[in-house]
Structures are given as structure tokens and as C-alpha cells.
Amino acid sequence: MAAGVAAWLPFARAAAIGWMPVANCPMPVAPRDHGKRQDELIILNVSGRRFQTWRTTLDRYPDTLLGSSEKEFFYNEETKEYFFDRDPDAFRSILNFYRTGKLHYPRHECISAYDEELAFFGIIPEIIGDCCYEEYKDRKRENAERLMDDQEENKDNKLPNMNFRETMWRAFENPHTSTMALVFYYVTGFFIAISVITNVVETVPCGSTPNQKDVPCGERYTVAFFCMDTACVMIFTVEYLMRLFAAPSRYRFMRSVMSIIDVVAILPYYIGLVMTNNEDVSGAFVTLRVFRVFRIFKFSRHSQGLRILGYTLKSCASELGFLLFSLTMAIIIFATVMFYAEKGSSSSKFTSIPASFWYTIVTMTTLGYGDMVPKTIAGKIFGSICSLSGVLVIALPVPVIVSNFSRIYHQNQRADKRRAQKKARLARIRVVKTGMSSAFLHNKRNGLFNELLELPCSEEVEQHLSKTASLLESQHHHLLHCLEKTTAHEFVDEQLYEQNCREGAVQSYPSCSPSLSSQEGPTGTCCTHQARKNPLPDASVPPTCQGALQELSAVHIQCSDQPALSTSRSSLNMKLDDTSRLNCKSGLITTAIISIPTPPAVSPEGDSQPLTSPSMQTIASSNAVKVSTL
């Protein structure tokens, strides 16, 4: 029930007096208003800005935060007000919703911020009033498209397990992914150009023999052109078949525009092959050659601008239709008028209305060839009106098409820009994250150093350590430390990890000398455990861990450390870290969503083959925690 109407409920109940005398049976008991309070003012303190409203105003919507008892969680006893640590500007529209019953979307507000506020206060966005709903939905769609674009780019990246067919398809769709694909891309482009040029040059008259007129080159060098044509068609056919093979959904591929263009480009050749002998249909055969020009459309795979143009025309179909329709109307009107105006004059070219169409079109598009000219005065008058109106009619729908094109083009530009910025952004985020994890390792090192050197942990040192780290940080580090102890492995620097991966491949057995290790038992035992079994448990890791580490689609947080650590640790047994690498769970994630896949039971000892096994690959990549910053 709308807010304002709730205030009229007493009236509606009073109006029921009209039913009482006619009722035959007794009425049910009315609900009593227990604890009937006087209406009181509530103070809502939102980040310092105080809002006040009646309690009954808020009670209108009992399934929201403010209308239910949930707000009691935010009640501050001392100041006798409800305190919310949220954005006061956004709160305005939320409170207005209670007051007026209509939710408005302020245009200057960011859409995701607004959505979050609504979610916090328990208001569903679907009740936004009509005045603001369109704007809200548009902005939301835009935002979703933007996020979707980002996600789509993530999908593009190489998944570890792609069979040959998928690889091929990816190579076709994104030529920049591999050298082979790029080569193929350029080769096909080259042959398209060759084919088109061939078609054009074929008709140029080249060199006449004395007793003959100029013959087009096509007829003079028939064999050469035929060979060229054949070669091009061979390439195109092979390309088409390969695409067809690689396509994930063949049916969908065959229906797509590009594949139809491909087919239309190569079909005339084959039909020509079949039909050359038959004289009757040679005329048709000649016509078919026209279709060879469609090969030029194959360039749209190579040019983004062409694709945008095509997409614009498709999206402006209605405007184009309107343009066409209005032009047709105008042409018919003016052609009729011109015909009847010029009917009287002698030797008039306006022999019929359809004949006048040509004049009208030429005049309205301001071409003015001059092959048909009105001679009578009436004809001239109407002719001038025709040309003026032509300008108008054409000028009207064109800006719509242009603005559409501009919008799509800019959207594309933005996508490219985002992609370029993304790499830089991700790199910066990575730096920040490694900074945070290095802080942990730094602190740990300091602590460990003290343990190792068996320094009495003097008060000053402890105080110094605690001052440098805030309470939050120290608690966080403690947490990570506990995790290390639980799993009996350690967090380590990314560079160190890579280094050890490489080293692990080269050396034949890990030289573990447990004595010098500052780490406690677990890793020591792990190492000895290793030594007992296959000496090369992780030889398979290096090539894959490189690949896994180079993924940019998600921020893989390998625990990193200062390079200084490696030098200080070199006195300790670095090689031990090899085994810990495998279970290197990542470190610090603050704001992002963590998806930790459950690591499979890592038993590198079980690997009898030192060479790459796919399972190792998956283990390495799945153990790294993928973080996507939203």
C-alpha cells in the first residue's frame, strides 16, 4: 500500500459504517492497538547529518531496515538517536521514499553506490518511480555492459586445457594470440586484396592488337587470370572449411553473416566450373561473376571500422527505413507533378511517370545530371520545389544515423581504451598487494631473525616492532602466521618461488640440511620425507608455474617478499622452500572476493614421472588464489 494511502486507512475503516446496518451477521472483533503510542519524532543520524521524521512515517514500510526492528541495532543509547555510517546524500532519497511513497534516483549519483545504499536499507529498486525509472535502468544497463566487457576479455585468455579445435577457433577469432594466427590473418587479407584487384584488372582494356579492338585483359590473359582466381578460391575454401571445423557451434557459424559472405564469395567459381560447357546459361554465368565482388566484404574480419559501420546500419534500420519511405513518397509525388507539367511541351523527355522518377531522384539528391530538364514554366517551378524538398527530406534522418554511429564508435574506443588501461591498472594493484604481503614477511623475518639469533627479545625491540605495525596489521599477520603453522608451510616471495621452480628443475635432488633451518619441524620432516621418495617431485612445476604466473586475467597473489629476503635467507636453507611452493596458498586479500578452490590432496611424492603431467599443472594453477577486484 502506498504511504499516503496508509494514512487514509482510518477513513476507509470509518466508511465501513455504510455496511453495518445491512449486515446480517455480527462483525468480527477489531484488532486493538496495543501500547498505543503517540506519534513521536525519531532522529536518524547519518554520518553526522541529522534527519528527523515521525515514527509512523518509517513504519509505513515494515519490510525495510528503517521500518522494522532492524534499526534497533543502530540505536545509540547515549544520544538517543539512530546512527548510520552511510552516505547522507543518498540517504535523502531513501528518506523521501518513506515520506512520499515514491523512490527517486538522483542523476548525479553513481549507480552502484546507489544500489548499495538501497540494498543496505532493504529497499528493492523496482519501486523507483516512473519519472526516474528509465534513467536508472539505462545507467544500470550501461554499467552491466561495462562489467560484462571486462569479463568477456577475461574469458578470452588461454585456459589450460584447450583441445586443438578450440585453439584453432581462438586463433581464428583473435589473431593476436599466436604467431601462426597472425600469419594466417595476413595471408588471407593479402589474398582477398589480390582477388579483388584481379577482378578489377580483368576488365581493363589492355593493349590492342592491330586487327582487333581493345580487349579487356581478362580475355587476353585468360589462363593467368584463371590460375589466380583458382588460387584465391582454394585459399578461401580451405579457410572456410577450417573455420567450419573449428567452430564450437557449427550450425550457428553457418548462419552467421561472415560465413554467408564467405560462401557467396567462393560459390560463383564452383558454379562456373560446373556450368562452363553449357551455352544457354553462359549469360547467367557472367552474372554470377558479379558476386565475386562480395569478396571485398571479407575484409570486415580485418577491419573493425567496417564492422562498426555494418553494425550501425543494422541498428539504424528503422531510420533508414523511414528515410527510404519518405523519399519514395516524395519521388512519386514530384514525378507525377513533373510529368503532367511537362506533358504539354514538345520533345519532352518526361515520357511517362516512371521516366520522371529518374529526374526526381537526380534532382532531390541535388545531383542534377542535366539529361532531363523541364522546359515549361510550371515544370521549372515544380522542379525547384522538388530540389528544395529533397534537401530537407534527406537531411532529417541523417543526424540520427550519424549519432548512432558516433555512439557505437565511441563505445568501441572506450572498450579499447579500457583494455589498454587494464594492464596498467592490474600492475598497480599487484604492486599494492605485494606491498601488503611483503609487510607481513618483513615482520616475520624480523621476528624470526630474533629467534634465530636467539637474541633476548628485549622490550625496546618488541616495542619498536609493535609501533611500526598497527594493531590491525599485527592481528592480520598473526592470522597468517597461524595459517602457516597449521599447514606447516610458509609464505614466500614470488620471485623466490619462480627462482626455486627453475632451480628445482635443474638440480637432481633437493639438498635439505634440516639443521640450519629456522623453521620448525614440519618443513624439516617434509623435506626428509621428500628425500626418501622421488628426488624430483616438482620438476614438472617450472614450465607450468611460469605460465600460471603470467596470467593477467586475475591477480594471482603469490606471496612475495623483498629480494633482500632471499639474500638474508640464503644463509638458511633456501632449497627447503621448494617443497613449500607447491602448497603456497596466497596471502593478503583485503577488499576483493576470495575464491579459494579446495586444493586437491597434493602428493607430489606420488609423481613418478619427473616431466610435466597435466595434474601438476592444474594443481599449480588451482592453488593460486584468483582475486578479481571489483
Partner 1 sequence: MKAKTREQSLSDSRELDGSYDQLTGNPPSSQSKKTIKQRFLKLLPCCQPSATPSVSQYSIEDDFELSTVCYRPEGLEKLLEQTKFTKKELQILYRGFKNECPSGVVNEETFKLIYSQFFPQGDSSTYAHFLFDAFDTQKNGSVSFEDFVAGLSIILRGSINDRLNWAFNLYDLNKDGCITKEEMTDIMKSIYDMMGKCTYPSMKETAPSEHVENFFQKMDRNKDGVVTIDEFIESCQKDENIMQSMQLFDNVI
- Comparing CB distances to partner 1, the nearer of 36 and 532 is 36
For 530, the enclosing helix (H) or strand (E) is helix 521-532
> Among residue numbers 267 through 326, which ones bind partner 1 (CB under 8 A)?
none
The interface region with partner 1, picked from 30-38, 267-275, 280-288, 301-309 by CB under 8 A, is 30-38
CB 582 within 8 A of CB 548: no
Where on the phi/psi map is residue 176: left (φ > 0), alpha (ψ -120 to 50), or beta? Answer: alpha
The interface region with partner 1, picked from 31-39, 268-276, 277-285, 595-603 by CB under 8 A, is 31-39
593 strand-pairing partners: 628
> How many whole angstroms separate alpha carbon 529 and alpha carbon 227?
70
Applying CB under 8 A, does 18 fall inside the site for partner 1? yes
The interface region with partner 1, picked from 13-21, 243-251, 367-375, 586-594 by CB under 8 A, is 13-21
155: which 3 cell numbers? 574469458
Tell the residue number behind the cell numbers 580487349, with chain if given.
215
- Comparing CB distances to partner 1, the nearer of 27 and 317 is 27
Tell the residue number behind the cell numbers 614421472, with chain if given.
609
The interface region with partner 1, picked from 24-32, 338-346, 469-477, 534-542 by CB under 8 A, is 24-32
Q: Of the candidates 34, 38, 249, 601, which one interacts with partner 1 according to CB under 8 A? A: 38
Applying CB under 8 A, does 39 fall inside the site for partner 1? yes
Crossing angle for the helix pair 398-452 and 377-395, to the nearest 10 degrees: 10
Applying CB under 8 A, does 471 fall inside the site for partner 1? no
Applying CB under 8 A, does 9 fall inside the site for partner 1? yes
- One-letter amino acid identity for 16? A
The interface region with partner 1, picked from 17-25, 86-94, 380-388, 551-559 by CB under 8 A, is 17-25
CB of 31 to partner 1, least distance (A): 9
Own/partner pairs, 468-471, CB within 8 angstroms, 24+ separation: 468/443, 469/439, 469/443
For 56, the enclosing helix (H) or strand (E) is helix 55-59
Tell the residue number behind the cell numbers 543526424, with chain if given.
399
- Comparing CB distances to partner 1, the nearer of 54 and 405 is 54
- The per-residue b/e assignment along 23-44, b for 16 or more CB within 10 angstroms, e otherwise, is eeeeeeeeeeeeeeeeeeebeb
CB of 19 to partner 1, least distance (A): 6
The interface region with partner 1, picked from 29-37, 373-381, 449-457, 474-482 by CB under 8 A, is 29-37
Nearest CA to 582 out of 518, 511, 497 is that of 497
Neighbours of 215 (CB within 10 A): 14
Applying CB under 8 A, does 388 fall inside the site for partner 1? no
491: which 3 cell numbers? 609464505
> Among residue numbers 97 through 156, which ones bind partner 1 (CB under 8 A)?
100
The interface region with partner 1, picked from 23-31, 40-48, 365-373, 622-630 by CB under 8 A, is 23-31
CB of 28 to partner 1, least distance (A): 9
Applying CB under 8 A, does 21 fall inside the site for partner 1? yes
- Comparing CB distances to partner 1, the nearer of 97 and 136 is 97
91: which 3 cell numbers? 540517504
Tell the residue number behind the cell numbers 601488503, with chain if given.
436
> How many whole angstroms separate alpha carbon 122 and alpha carbon 138?
22
Applying CB under 8 A, does 37 fall inside the site for partner 1? no
- One-letter amino acid identity for 248? P
> How many whole angstroms separate alpha carbon 560 and alpha carbon 615?
25
Applying CB under 8 A, does 12 fall inside the site for partner 1? yes
Applying CB under 8 A, does 30 fall inside the site for partner 1? yes
- Comparing CB distances to partner 1, the nearer of 53 and 411 is 53
- Comparing CB distances to partner 1, the nearer of 38 and 277 is 38
- Comparing CB distances to partner 1, the nearer of 7 and 392 is 7
CB of 67 to partner 1, least distance (A): 17
The interface region with partner 1, picked from 10-18, 122-130, 248-256, 512-520 by CB under 8 A, is 10-18
Residues touching partner 1, count (CB under 8 A)? 32
CB 342 within 8 A of CB 376: yes
Strands 41-46 and 81-84: parallel
Neighbours of 156 (CB within 10 A): 12
CB of 62 to partner 1, least distance (A): 17
> How many whole angstroms separate alpha carbon 605 and alpha carbon 529?
9
Applying CB under 8 A, does 392 fall inside the site for partner 1? no
- Comparing CB distances to partner 1, the nearer of 21 and 370 is 21
CB 573 within 8 A of CB 518: no
Applying CB under 8 A, does 25 fall inside the site for partner 1? yes
CB of 156 to partner 1, least distance (A): 51
Site string for partner 1, 73-102 (x = CB under 8 A): ---------------------------x--
Applying CB under 8 A, does 35 fall inside the site for partner 1? no
The interface region with partner 1, picked from 11-19, 135-143, 477-485, 610-618 by CB under 8 A, is 11-19
Tell the residue number behind the cell numbers 554511429, with chain if given.
405
Q: Of the candidates 24, 209, 249, 347, which one interacts with partner 1 according to CB under 8 A? A: 24
Alpha helix ranges (H) inside 203-303: 217-220, 222-246, 250-255, 257-275, 282-290
- Comparing CB distances to partner 1, the nearer of 13 and 165 is 13
95: which 3 cell numbers? 528518506
Applying CB under 8 A, does 377 fall inside the site for partner 1? no
CB of 7 to partner 1, least distance (A): 3
> How many whole angstroms separate alpha carbon 341 and alpha carbon 249?
61
DSSP labels for 477-499? HHHHHHHHHHHT-----HHHHHH
- Comparing CB distances to partner 1, the nearer of 103 and 576 is 103
- The per-residue b/e assignment along 163-202, b for 16 or more CB within 10 angstroms, e otherwise, is eeeebbbbbbeebebeeebeebbeebbebbbbbbebbeeb
205 strand-pairing partners: 216
The interface region with partner 1, picked from 9-17, 133-141, 158-166, 329-337 by CB under 8 A, is 9-17
CB of 387 to partner 1, least distance (A): 22
The interface region with partner 1, picked from 7-15, 180-188, 482-490, 619-627 by CB under 8 A, is 7-15
Applying CB under 8 A, does 1 fall inside the site for partner 1? yes
Residues engaged in binding partner 1 (CB under 8 A) = 1-5, 7-27, 30, 32-33, 38-39, 100
